Amino acid sequence: MTPPEPPPELPPEPLPEPEPAPEPEAVPEPPPEPMADEELPPPPGDMAERTKSFPPVKTKRSGAMATLRRAVTIFEKDMRTMAKHGLVSAVILLIFLGVVFTIMSFAMSQAMKFDIGEMEGDGEGPGTLPGSTDHVPPVADAGNDRAVSASTSVTLDASGSTDNEGLFYFVWNFDESGREMQLYGESVTHVFYATGHYEVNLVVVDTSWNFDEDNMTIDVNALPGDTESPMANAGNDTGASVGTTFTFNGSGSTDNVDVVNWTWMFRDFGDRIDRVLFGERPSYRFDNTGTIWVQLVARDAAGNTGQAGIRIDVYTDSGDTQSPEARADMPHQINVGERVQLDASESFDNQGISDYIWFVKQNNTMRTFNGQTAEFVADRIGMYEVLLVVRDAAGNVGTSDGGVIVYPADVDVDMIAWDSTPFGTDVSFNLLTYAYGIALLSSVIFIGGLFAKGFTHEISKGTIKVLFFGPISVTTMIFSKILYPIVIGPIFIFPLTLFSLAMFNQSPGDILMITLVAYLLCVVTMLSAAYGSCIIYAAAKRMVIKPSIVSRMFLYFSLLLTLTVFEWSTFVMDSWLETDSWGNMYDSYHGIATISPFHQGGIFLSGQILGTMQSPDYFLLIIPAALIILGILASKKLYSDIFSRE
């Protein structure tokens, strides 16, 4: 058989006119060109006829709103996955990190807490003045042990202390009737009203911040003869309305001979200023609300003493019970002879502040100023303690304290880190950084982990391809990922910041500001993570790459980097906002900032930005590094557990 002649080629049928696109101006298309290739096959013979009877094809072009709606749909899908698995992981991570941070907090605060009264060691403290070459510690001399009678004035003299350069700072620490006393100055006087054995500790600091300490004892004794102590009776606990004059009554005190002296000791102005009254029935006008713990020392003629205490609740009759917030602004370190400007203008109260009282203490001298602003001349080197008391019309008080370190004239104070003190770094301000750190670390690892695992999962399993079969673009993907930090960030950030701030009685404005700043930082951080992920998305869409160890490491690295930048930024923000002026709120938490994982990095960064000379302790960088690695490992394990089920 021979093959038959093939039928002649049919001429190509003209294609139907294509319908114009709905938005021709957006995408100008050239008119369809005639088919150049005559070999191209035409539709079947009747196709052109049929085409004429069809209604026009309606093509659509989705705009930005459609992209957003699709992004929301993808986001919704991811949220469901997160709600199912991710939140559990997040809680686990949060607990994990919380425990780690707390342990570190405790350990570090113990290791780095330099309280004056507890200072030990060879005298070369960590607070050696930056740039100083003097490392020779002074020699403290508190004088000999003493024995005195009750209610006699005792002079504590440290003039026997020596140093090669000169002494800068003296502080006497002892415990009296259950109160920790600190007296500043080379020579101070104090009256011991109660008999007993007092152990007095003296710390001296030289101009290069080397220090030494010495101890002495003071025995306050009664006279020989009558050895029986009186039975002090201060009356019963009671209350007093603010502004009223209260009369104490020690008449219930008894003695085998007779009580000849009644000494009433308490602290007013928010439990900050010592007050001492004498007599069986002294009177005192309480102008400040609060709980007053009064100690009565009853003494007989032989000097025997007995003690009793009462509690007086000073209350206000007005409805306003909210204490004002005291904010004291002052220079932290100056040269001798300069004027110190005190400013309380940032203090606030719900009803307005009626009184501003400044107590400035240097050595044994206390000065008082009134007014929102005040100033004095720092005419002596050493520490000026400043206490600000603000009071509203109802008698509620708020306090804030600070210190001004006065250096010799030849010290360049600008070269000293703003948070340096003779006793180490002032680390009390940074609780917020701590809170941010936990919130951010957990949320970034949570979301980053989901990104990392979720992305690679989508790519390796091919599910991502399905999305691209539809009208999903890389832009849509990016939109969907941008929604993460914007929506999820607050879930982690807001509660922690609100809690940590509200706990310390911050003003609503501050709460709002810091929460927003934290939120913005959070968004920036996570956007960065989203960006890294989108690069992988784009690559996956083109099917150019498959997830590799390199792409995963890229993602983890970007997370680490952004987290570090975040934490350092927070540190600088804290510095910038001078949140250290809130230090009094964090007294019981001092030392906590040192465990903030990037504190040392922050020191480094602030050194670079603010021009300080303080060097970070690079050894401590191991801690954040270890935490990050642990966090990544934890998240990786968790997410692999989650997705291995698919």
**259: part of which helix (H) or strand (E)?**
strand 259-268
* Bridge partners, 71 (sequence order): none
**71: part of which helix (H) or strand (E)?**
helix 64-81
We find the least distance from the C-beta atom of residue 637 to another protein, in angstroms, to be 20
Would you say 477 or 593 has its CB closer to another protein?
477
- Token pair, residue 569, equals 């930024």
CA 519 to CA 422: how far, in whole Å? 36
- Token pair, residue 215, equals 């101890």
Q: Are strands 146-149 and 179-184 parallel, antiparallel or unpaired?
A: unpaired
We find the least distance from the C-beta atom of residue 43 to another protein, in angstroms, to be 4
We find the least distance from the C-beta atom of residue 5 to another protein, in angstroms, to be 7
Nearest to 381 by CA among 342, 334, 415, 426: 334
Burial 334-356 (b: 16+ CB within 10 A, else e): bebebebebbbebbbbeeebebb
Q: Is 366 in the site for another protein (CB under 8 A)?
A: no
Would you say 40 or 110 has its CB closer to another protein?
40
We find the least distance from the C-beta atom of residue 502 to another protein, in angstroms, to be 38
Q: Is 4 in the site for another protein (CB under 8 A)?
A: yes
Q: Is 135 in the site for another protein (CB under 8 A)?
A: no
Q: Is 34 in the site for another protein (CB under 8 A)?
A: no
CA 331 to CA 355: how far, in whole Å? 22
Q: What one-letter code names the amino acid at 300?
A: D
Q: Is 545 in the site for another protein (CB under 8 A)?
A: no
We find the least distance from the C-beta atom of residue 437 to another protein, in angstroms, to be 33
Would you say 86 or 137 has its CB closer to another protein?
86
Burial 188-216 (b: 16+ CB within 10 A, else e): bebebbbbbebebbbbbbbbbbbbbbbeb
Question: Could you give the 3-state DSSP secondary structure of residue 603?
Answer: helix
We find the least distance from the C-beta atom of residue 475 to another protein, in angstroms, to be 8
Would you say 177 or 473 has its CB closer to another protein?
473
Q: Is 55 in the site for another protein (CB under 8 A)?
A: yes
Nearest to 499 by CA among 434, 580, 577: 434
Would you say 10 or 366 has its CB closer to another protein?
10
Q: Is 73 in the site for another protein (CB under 8 A)?
A: yes
Q: Is 70 in the site for another protein (CB under 8 A)?
A: yes
Nearest to 374 by CA among 396, 394, 390: 390
Number of residues that bind another protein (CB under 8 A): 61
Would you say 193 or 455 has its CB closer to another protein?
455
Q: Work out which of 448, 471, 568, 582 binds another protein, going by CB under 8 A.
A: 471
CA distances from 616 to 593, 607, 608, 619 (A): 14, 9, 11, 9
Q: Work out which of 470, 509, 549, 588 binds another protein, going by CB under 8 A.
A: 470
CA 295 to CA 232: how far, in whole Å? 10
Q: Is 178 in the site for another protein (CB under 8 A)?
A: no
Would you say 30 or 509 has its CB closer to another protein?
30
CA 251 to CA 288: how far, in whole Å? 26
Phi, psi at 361, each rounded to 5°: -120, 130
Q: Is 131 in the site for another protein (CB under 8 A)?
A: no
Q: Is 60 in the site for another protein (CB under 8 A)?
A: yes
CA 414 to CA 333: how far, in whole Å? 9
We find the least distance from the C-beta atom of residue 603 to another protein, in angstroms, to be 46
Q: Is 285 in the site for another protein (CB under 8 A)?
A: no
Q: Is 546 in the site for another protein (CB under 8 A)?
A: no
Q: Is 640 in the site for another protein (CB under 8 A)?
A: no
Q: Is 472 in the site for another protein (CB under 8 A)?
A: yes
We find the least distance from the C-beta atom of residue 461 to another protein, in angstroms, to be 6
CA 284 to CA 606: how far, in whole Å? 49
Dihedral angle over CA of 606, 609, 611, 615, nearest 10: 40
Would you say 108 or 642 has its CB closer to another protein?
642
Q: What is the CA radius of gyration of the chain?
A: 37
Q: Is 64 in the site for another protein (CB under 8 A)?
A: no
Q: Is 15 in the site for another protein (CB under 8 A)?
A: yes
Q: Is 88 in the site for another protein (CB under 8 A)?
A: no
Q: Work out which of 87, 223, 516, 543 binds another protein, going by CB under 8 A.
A: 543
- The residue to which tokens 């784009």 are assigned: 538
| Interaction residues for another protein, span 440-469 (CB under 8 A) | 461-463, 465-466, 468-469
Contacting positions for another protein (CB under 8 A): 1-7, 12-13, 15-16, 18-21, 27, 29, 32, 35-37, 39-44, 47-48, 50-51, 54-55, 57-62, 66, 69-70, 73, 77, 80-81, 84, 461-463, 465-466, 468-473, 542-543, 646
